[in-house]
Amino acid sequence: MSKRVFDLLGALAGLLLLAPVLLLVALWIRLDSSGPVLYRQQRVGRQGELFTIYKFRTMRHNAGDGSQLTVGADPRVTRAGRFLRYYKLDELPQLWNVVQGSMSLVGPRPEVPRYVDRYPPEQRRLVLSVAPGITDWAAIRYKDENAILARSADPERAYVDTVLPAKLEYYVRYVHERSFWGDMRILAHTLAALIR
């Protein structure tokens, strides 16, 4: 309950403080390319329930389903999108997910169903026992994930065989060690990484 209260207050404060930034980003997206401001996608949440995650749209509208991975200089990404992705500003609408209760400020990053299906059963049970988060240690460690995958001849295979298992280790450790002060450390490191 205390985590939920902290999440709710933190997300509402973030939305209020960042309202001018959110409006400017929304306007930039509309001027930069046609299509909706927000991107919606189904992700797997707590106890395996699907929910709609919100992000600022960073790709061309109707760019096709294609890969669910963004690798290197993906031609689907718009000019505004490149900037938003680099500084992680595309993730800001997830504060609304936190207000709704489908996400937490800190927790394992939510994945699409096709990758969750690859989780080993015990890790899946643990990771999905908590609400997914906007940030965690894996998000900090792999903040340049698309650049890492771009160096691979087969990005999909590299993600499934190397990146995803490493992320799962962070997720499982978070579930075992989670605490209020641990969450505060992750939030502080996330802000520091974004500033750098």
H-run or E-run covering 84: helix 79-86
113-137 mean pLDDT: 96
Domain that holds residue 180: 2-195
Residues 42 and 113: beta-carbon distance below 8 Å:
yes
Q: How far apart, in whole angstroms, are the C-alpha atoms of residue 170 and residue 3?
A: 20
Which pLDDT belongs to residue 195?
A: 81
Decide if pLDDT at 73 tops 70: no
Decide if pLDDT at 69 tops 70: no
Q: At 54, list the tokens.
A: 């919100």
Q: pLDDT digit string (tens) for 7-40?
A: 999 999 999 999 999 999 999 999 999 999 999 9
Percent of the chain with pLDDT over 70: 94
* Total number of domains in the chain: 1
Percent of the chain with pLDDT over 90: 71
What is the 8-class DSSP label of residue 110?
P
155-161 mean pLDDT: 87
Q: At 83, list the tokens.
A: 């900037």
Decide if pLDDT at 117 tops 80: yes
Q: How far apart, in whole angstroms, are the C-alpha atoms of residue 40 and residue 42?
A: 7
Which pLDDT belongs to residue 17?
A: 95
Q: At 120, list the tokens.
A: 């080993």
User: Phi and psi dihedrals of 194, rounded to 5?
Assistant: -65, -40
Q: pLDDT digit string (tens) for 74-90?
A: 788 899 999 998 888 99
What predicted TM-score, i.e. pTM, was given to this entire model?
A: 0.89
pLDDT class of 138 with cuts at 50, 70, 90:
very high
Which pLDDT belongs to residue 154?
A: 85
Decide if pLDDT at 163 tops 60: yes
Which pLDDT belongs to residue 78?
A: 92
Give me the residue label for tokens 């937490």: 104
Q: pLDDT digit string (tens) for 36-68?
A: 999 999 999 999 999 999 999 999 877 655 556
What is the 8-class DSSP label of residue 161?
I
